[in-house]
């Protein structure tokens, strides 16, 4: 799973990237698109690292996994690097995504323009509530969840977003997997059980806040202590230029 470049899954076209690197490539991609818009055609590791909010050693190590990508003494070619990253991430064609659950959050996600501009196309909306089926959102009709297998097949959907209440999420996940979906982004606050070969990522808003709460708690405890025992120049978590990753 690590750097071995000669294993069965390795090879020049499919470098076996560390997960931490995979999670950062999208950030580099976003920064690169920004740089391209601003007219840069090359960028140094230092410059790109700053734009992406990481340090340059990490960035160079990450990019080195993709093979020779930069030019020593010069830097990286912006458009070339964009192509290489998009290639590796499988973003050379727009992937069709299904969204299940068009409640409060689902509505917002259905209307989110960021999907469209960054490699994805919301191809279908689903809900279990017959009262919502037939509703038009952003040019798409909400379909009943029973139509999943048919639509997933028709639209070649392999990625789905779950934005249902927690109690429905496992059931929805089961039906998605059954219909052939192999990647799920779960917004429902619960654990999903899926078979091997299916990837799940989750976003839980309350968990993010609770992690922040921990640090708040600790900061306020620190300021309550006599200043003498505090480490110099350090209050709570030091936060070098660019915030902290959600991806521990």
Binding region for NAD(+): 101-106
Residue 153 binding: pick among DNA, its own copies, none (C-beta 5-8 Å cut-off by kind): none
Asked if residues 81 and 32 have their Cβ atoms less than 8 Å apart, the reply is: yes
CA distance 63 to 12: 14
Q: Summarize as ranges the residues that interact with DNA (CB under 7 A).
A: 1-2, 18-21, 44-46, 54-58, 60-61, 63-64, 68-76, 248
Q: Cα–Cα distance between 20 and 239 in angstroms, integer?
A: 19
Near its own copies by CB under 8 A: residue from 73, 114, 131, 139 = 114
Q: Give the nearer residue to DNA in terms of CB position, either 66 or 124.
A: 66
CB atoms under 10 Å from CB of 81, counted, come to 23
**Residue 4 near its own copies by CB under 8 A:** no
Nearest-approach distance from CB 163 to its own copies, in angstroms = 9
61 or 118, CB closer to its own copies? Answer: 118
- The binder of 233, among its own copies, DNA, none, by C-beta within 5 to 8 A per type, is its own copies
Cα separation, 99 vs 121, whole angstroms: 10
Which among its own copies, DNA, none contacts residue 97 (Cβ within 5 to 8 A by kind)?
Answer: its own copies
The edge-to-edge listing of strands for the beta sheet with 183-186 is 136-137, 140-144, 120-127, 95-100, 159-162, 183-186, 199-202
- Helix (H) / strand (E) containing 186: strand 183-186
2 binds, among its own copies, DNA, none (CB under 5 to 8 A by kind): DNA
* 3-class DSSP state of 232: coil
Residues at the binding site are 101-106
Query: Per CB under 8 A, which of residues 169..228 are in contact with its own copies?
Result: 182-186, 189-222, 225
């Amino acid at each position: 799973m690590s750097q071995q470049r000669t294993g069965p899954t390795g090879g020049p076209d499919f470098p076996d990237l560390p997960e931490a690197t995979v999670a950062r490539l999208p950030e580099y991609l976003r920064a690169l698109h920004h740089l391209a818009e601003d007219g840069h055609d090359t960028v140094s590791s230092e410059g790109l690292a700053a734009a992406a909010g990481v340090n340059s050693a990490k960035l160079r190590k990450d990019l080195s996994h993709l093979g020779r990508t930069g030019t020593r003494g010069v830097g990286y070619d912006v458009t070339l690097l964009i192509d290489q990253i998009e290639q590796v991430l499988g973003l050379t064609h727009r992937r069709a995504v299904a969204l299940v659950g068009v409640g409060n959050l689902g509505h917002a996600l259905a209307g989110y323009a960021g999907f469209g501009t960054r490699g994805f196309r919301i191809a279908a909306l689903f809900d279990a509530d017959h009262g919502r089926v037939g509703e038009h959102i952003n040019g798409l009709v909400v379909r009943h969840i029973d139509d999943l297998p048919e639509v997933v097949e028709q639209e070649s959907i392999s990625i789905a977003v779950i934005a249902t209440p927690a109690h429905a999420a496992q059931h929805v996940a089961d039906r998605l997997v059954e219909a052939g979906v192999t990647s799920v982004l779960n917004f429902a606050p619960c654990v999903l059980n899926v078979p091997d070969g299916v990837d799940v990522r989750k976003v839980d808003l309350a968990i993010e806040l609770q992690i922040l709460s921990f640090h708040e708690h600790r900061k306020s405890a620190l300021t309550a202590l006599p200043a003498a025992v505090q480490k110099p120049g350090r209050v709570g978590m030091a936060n070098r230029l660019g915030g902290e990753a959600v991806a521990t």
